[in-house]
Structure 1
Amino acid sequence: MADVYGRLTGKAGVCLSTLGPGATNLMTGVADANLDSSPLVAITGQVGTDRMHIESHQYLDLVAMFAPVTKWNKQIVRPSITPEVVRKAFKKAQAEEPGAVHIDLPENIAAMPVKGEPLRPDNNEKTYTSFAIIRAAAAAVSQATNPIILVGNGAIRAQASDAVTQFATQMNIPVVNTFMGKGVIPYTHPLALWSVGLQQRDFINCGFDNTDLVIAIGYDLIEFSPKKWNPEGSIPIIHVGLNKAEIDSSYIPLVEVVGDISNSLTEIAKLADRDLKPNPYAISLKANIRADYEQYANDNGFPVKPQKLIHDLREVMGPDDVVISDVGAHKIWMARHYHCHSPNTCLISNGFAAMGIAIPGALAAKLVYPNRKVVAVTGDGGFMMNCQELETALRVGTAFVTLIFHDGGYGLIGWKQENHFGEGKSSFIEFGNPDFVKLAESMGLKGYRVNASEDFIPILKEALAQDVPAIIDCPVDYRENIRLTQKADKLSCMSQEST
């Protein structure tokens, strides 16, 4: 919940736990926030400092444990330093690139009186890049014949969506977003080539094969490894972001434009001189992508194909409504097929890819946006990890829908096994489930089961209208997983000349 709160608001979400197992149970959420650049402050209890030098009940060195999964962490060793530790924690968590921090509070220190007031926050002034760098970037944009924009989560954090859309439109450059960059440019925009990030080839990889310049805007390498789209390190890159580029042999920028993203794009556009004729290759690529998406609109097969389920979900959800995707085979389909009008309307655990995020994440989203529709999209495996949080949702009055892609197994692991060993060859991935409708009803929730493809949209609309959390149990046809892999294996890209 704190992770998703931080993503949606830009303010650090705060979570706390007791010592020992409470702290270790906190670590997955903390690690997820840190790798997905969500501002988060975690506070853990700890045994007293008078017990740390000996074997002691529930004592673990939590500062050492949290060090690899946080930007910064400290133990409060005397009451008087509390204001400084807390102020530094929030400053570190929210500074670009955001992430998780941890404060460890021993019980004997917590019991001591403390004097002092909270320290006031700093004023974060914007920084701007130099004219020489802007001029170099503009020259590279002007010389490129087939550039492509790769936009990531950093553009969302910088609130640069309008600037990216304006820049792409003015320069007539197609835009690809990472899983975490969805909605930076509306998916209905004619230059939007939708999402990249699968670990296998897809239509959009053809765009990278035929580009002579990638303009990476707010792109964090962890979102989609550059080795997937620039394996030889031969594509020229302009890096536009609030921080310098991470070091990677496949990501060595020609120009690094470090500073306020919106300002940088505006200034580059002023100096760039581009032929504004539409790029025929990008147009043909968009046509293929859209045709692949729309071919499932009228598919009435049952169990429901994941593409059809997501197409219909998109039809029902409004432009500002929010979906939270859990991790599993459905995540791959959500990442590929759920497209966004605006930022932060489809949240995906990407860097750490932690199962179980959807339900608590949806709870947080509904608290932040009580007037928006919110749907948690999860597999049955992820649902069973955190379904107890629906009691919390009911208790605090947050009504959202949990959509279960039901296949009775760990679909993503099965997919990987079949890719490696051959179709039909998977092991130890199946499990039993409770009756999800009865489970919902036993908790005081609304429960629905999809029995035909055409039933899903009316069920979803009814579930979203409820004043209590609702569960939709939908059998899904994951034979489509291997078909997607087979399609990717056969994908060949036309050269720009042959378009």
Structure 2
Amino acid sequence: MRAVDAVIECLKAEGVEVVFGLPGGANLPQYDAFYDAGIRHVLVRHEAGGGHAAAGYAKATGRVGVCFATSGPGATNVVTPIADAMMDSVPTVFITGQVRTDLLGTDGFQETDVVGITMPIVKHSFMIQHPLEIPRAIHEAFHLARTGRPGPVIVDIPTDLARADIPYEPVTDIHLPGYQPTHDGNTKQIRQAAKALASARRPVLYVGGGAINANASEEVRELARLDNFPVTCTLMGLGAFPAPDPQWLGMLGMHGTRTANYAMDEADLIVAIGARFDDRITGKLSEFAPRAKFVHIDIDPAEISKNIPAHIPIVGDAKNIVAKLVKEYRALEGVDHTRLEAWWERIRGWQEKHPLRYEDSEGTEIKPQYLVEALYEATGGDAIVTTDIGQHQMWCAQYFHFDRPRRWLQSGGLGTMGFGLPAAMGAKVGMPDETVICLAGDGSVQMNMQELATCAQDGIDIKIFISNNGYLGMVRQWQELFWDKRYSQVDMGQFPDFVKLADAYGATGFRFENKTTLVDDIKKAIATPGPVMVDVRVTREENVYPMIAPGAAARDMVG
């Protein structure tokens, strides 16, 4: 069969049900194979939309997301989604077309060295040099993307090799001698971690997105229940532990709760589960958690002690390790189960003194925080939520209380504006029976708004709520706080008219401006069939608090 038909067979063997992509000259052979492939293809309007949709699909389902792009600008358009997937450990496979092999290195039409360009931001890449390599490369790409620390893998296929006839045989024996991730963890170190937990008087469980990637949420909850351990999650880890729970301290980090950040600052033991101590969590690194010893559980050995030295490093799969940690803790004798009473008394004091709060409007004006609360009330919390990047994202993390994993889909490490809409599209394709909401800013939503056409054409029923303050809100906040309120190039005006634009795209548009009817209005929008875009006019100048100023310590939060 043709090599491109073999690619389709490989996708089927890997259980792929949907591909996001856009055809072009160099991947035309692959799209000819799609003509009667029997795999759903979602035709995106921009390759970046396809890449983010693949990530949204992967985050919502736990399966590998797949994106196709052509050579040259098609391939460079997926560079941002690839970097995004790398930063957030998202299992994705990008299959790009390439110019004919006789044109490689000649600056041929739409030639780019996509493997070279993306080398720092992929887990692995394959540059196909012979058509017989294609089936094994596809299967190895999926194996690499989904195992160990998940991440993006590229397969770059020259168009002449894609058209070649090859004898196809299914590949079932994937064995990569140089790639053997550790999954089980060291038993001695796990036992040491259990003993450290049993003797700690001010412990905190610090849970990141790796716990969700590993499907370890149940194990994390079981560990927390052993001895009433306080739990905080990163932005990427929200949902790994139920937000309404009494043991929940809230999100930590730059816009986390004072309780979570103060607890980390005063803890004597921090157990990090699938988290990487990034700068948005630690604040001033030299002053982060100065009293604590650290247990660091991570599938990626490169992350352990990268930023914060680990006293007890444990390399492996979070689900396996936390389950073993629970077992070892239960086997300990003489544990004082009353030792955390004073710690919880201190934590409750912070919670009473420093709850999340904002000053609500007196009239009908909608505060952006209230928009999130209204979304939560209207959905009962039963929705998959994506956001873009900015103030609305932080307010959503603070006020929408996620009680399950894979309900909160984010661009965390890269912070990509334009992520939310296509990610919601991918999530809805993967989870068609779920309510999928994108909360966007008026600035960020315009970066991939063209995918509204994809949603309308394919009947992808997502609901987009735009927190519209007419500013690039987070940049404006920083200019207010740190640049003497010199508002330089952040005023977005009231362009475009989102209601008219929704209509032009074949979606339904609404505009909401009255807080007294907002919950009912949101319910109406969610009940409207097909893709819906809602322009919600909110307070123009509102800041996200609390906040750790750049370079400051967590104990010095403001707001």
1:265 corresponds to which letter in structure 2? L
The answer on 1:315 being equivalent to 2:377 is yes
Paired with 1:151 and 1:204, the residues of 2 have a C-alpha distance of: 12
Cα distance change of structure 1 residues 343 and 301 upon mapping to structure 2, 3 Å threshold: farther
Cα distance change of structure 1 residues 493 and 415 upon mapping to structure 2, 3 Å threshold: closer
What are the Cα deviations for residues 70-127 of structure 1, in whole angstroms up to 9, with x where unaligned?
A: 1111211101111221111111111221110111111111111112223126599994
Cα distance change of structure 1 residues 490 and 40 upon mapping to structure 2, 3 Å threshold: closer
Equivalence for 1:285: 350
Cα distance change of structure 1 residues 244 and 453 upon mapping to structure 2, 3 Å threshold: same
Paired with 1:245 and 1:258, the residues of 2 have a C-alpha distance of: 10
Paired with 2:126 and 2:553, the residues of 1 have a C-alpha distance of: 52
Secondary structure of 1:256's counterpart equals strand
Report sequence identity in percent. Answer: 32
Cα distance change of structure 1 residues 356 and 249 upon mapping to structure 2, 3 Å threshold: closer
Cα distance change of structure 1 residues 140 and 360 upon mapping to structure 2, 3 Å threshold: same
Does the aligned pair in 2 maintain the 1:239–1:245 contact within 8 Å?
Answer: no
The answer on 1:354 being equivalent to 2:419 is no
The answer on 1:444 being equivalent to 2:506 is yes
Equivalence for 2:34: none
How far 1:437 moved relative to its partner? 1.2
Does the aligned pair in 1 maintain the 2:469–2:541 contact within 8 Å?
Answer: no
Does the aligned pair in 2 maintain the 1:405–1:476 contact within 8 Å?
Answer: yes
Cα distance change of structure 1 residues 186 and 419 upon mapping to structure 2, 3 Å threshold: same
How far 1:268 moved relative to its partner? 3.5
What are the Cα deviations for residues 216-263 of structure 1, in whole angstroms up to 9, with x where unaligned?
A: 112134484545576357421111233436254641111123331342
User: Which runs of structure 2 are paired with 1:179-258 in the superposition (5 Å)?
Assistant: 179-198=235-254, 202-222=258-278, 224-226=280-282, 228=284, 231=287, 234=290, 235-244=292-301, 246-248=303-305, 250-258=307-315
Equivalence for 1:151: 207
1:283 corresponds to which letter in structure 2? R
Counterpart among 134, 150, 161 of residue 98 in structure 1: 150
How many pairs are equivalent?
490
Give TM-score scaled by structure 2 length. Answer: 0.82
Does the aligned pair in 2 maintain the 1:164–1:265 contact within 8 Å?
Answer: no
Does the aligned pair in 2 maintain the 1:365–1:374 contact within 8 Å?
Answer: yes
Cα distance change of structure 1 residues 96 and 221 upon mapping to structure 2, 3 Å threshold: farther
Does the aligned pair in 1 maintain the 2:262–2:554 contact within 8 Å?
Answer: no
1:270 corresponds to which letter in structure 2? R
Q: Which runs of 5+ in 2 are unaligned?
A: 1-52
Equivalence for 2:330: 270
Paired with 2:444 and 2:388, the residues of 1 have a C-alpha distance of: 7
The answer on 1:435 being equivalent to 2:497 is yes
Paired with 2:113 and 2:286, the residues of 1 have a C-alpha distance of: 41
Equivalence for 1:426: 487
How far 1:487 moved relative to its partner? 11
Paired with 2:255 and 2:407, the residues of 1 have a C-alpha distance of: 23
Equivalence for 1:460: 522
Cα distance change of structure 1 residues 487 and 80 upon mapping to structure 2, 3 Å threshold: closer
Does the aligned pair in 1 maintain the 2:254–2:547 contact within 8 Å?
Answer: no
Q: Which runs of 5+ in 1 are unaligned?
A: 495-499
The answer on 1:72 being equivalent to 2:124 is yes
Cα distance change of structure 1 residues 241 and 52 upon mapping to structure 2, 3 Å threshold: closer
What are the Cα deviations for residues 405-429 of structure 1, in whole angstroms up to 9, with x where unaligned?
A: 112221111112222212x321111
Does the aligned pair in 1 maintain the 2:75–2:96 contact within 8 Å?
Answer: yes
What are the Cα deviations for residues 172-196 of structure 1, in whole angstroms up to 9, with x where unaligned?
A: 1110000011111111110001111
Does the aligned pair in 2 maintain the 1:12–1:41 contact within 8 Å?
Answer: yes
Equivalence for 1:497: none
Equivalence for 1:414: 476
Cα distance change of structure 1 residues 15 and 426 upon mapping to structure 2, 3 Å threshold: same
Does the aligned pair in 2 maintain the 1:128–1:263 contact within 8 Å?
Answer: no
Paired with 2:221 and 2:521, the residues of 1 have a C-alpha distance of: 35
Give TM-score scaled by structure 1 length. Answer: 0.91
Counterpart among 375, 393, 399 of residue 437 in structure 2: 375
Secondary structure of 1:179's counterpart equals coil
Counterpart among 87, 111, 119 of residue 59 in structure 1: 111
* Worse-matched range after superposition: 333-342 or 22-31: 333-342
Does the aligned pair in 1 maintain the 2:124–2:152 contact within 8 Å?
Answer: yes
How far 1:68 moved relative to its partner? 1.5
Give the alignment's Cα RMSD to 1 decimal.
2.7
